[in-house]
Amino acid sequence: MDDTDKDDETLPLRRILVLYAHPAQRSSHVNRWLFEAASGLAGVTAVDLYAEYPRYEIDIDREQERLRRHDAIIFQHPFYWYSTPALLKEWQDLVLEHGFAYGEGGDALNGKIFFNAVTAGAPEVAYRARGYNRRTLAELLYPMEATAHLCGMTWLPPFALYRSRHAAEEGLADTHRADWLRLLRALRDGTLDIKAAQARPRLNDGLAKLIREG
Alpha carbons 185 and 170: distance in angstroms, whole number? 26
Whole-number Cα distances in Å, 173 to 41, 117, 167, 177, 203 = 18, 14, 5, 6, 16
Interval 78-124: pLDDT, tens: 999 999 999 999 999 999 999 999 999 999 999 999 999 999 878 88
Comparing CA positions, the residue from 150, 152, 134, 141 lying closest to residue 203 is: 141
pLDDT of residue 168: 58
Rg of the chain (C-alpha set)? 16
Torsion angle in degrees (nearest 10) through CA of 6, 9, 10, 11? 80
Distance CA 156, CA 196 (A): 10
- In this structure, whether the domain defined by 8-210 belongs to CATH 3.40.50.1860 is answered with no
pTM of the predicted model, to two decimals?
0.91
Over residues 161-208, the pLDDT tens digits come to 887 666 555 556 788 999 999 999 999 999 999 999 999 999 999 999
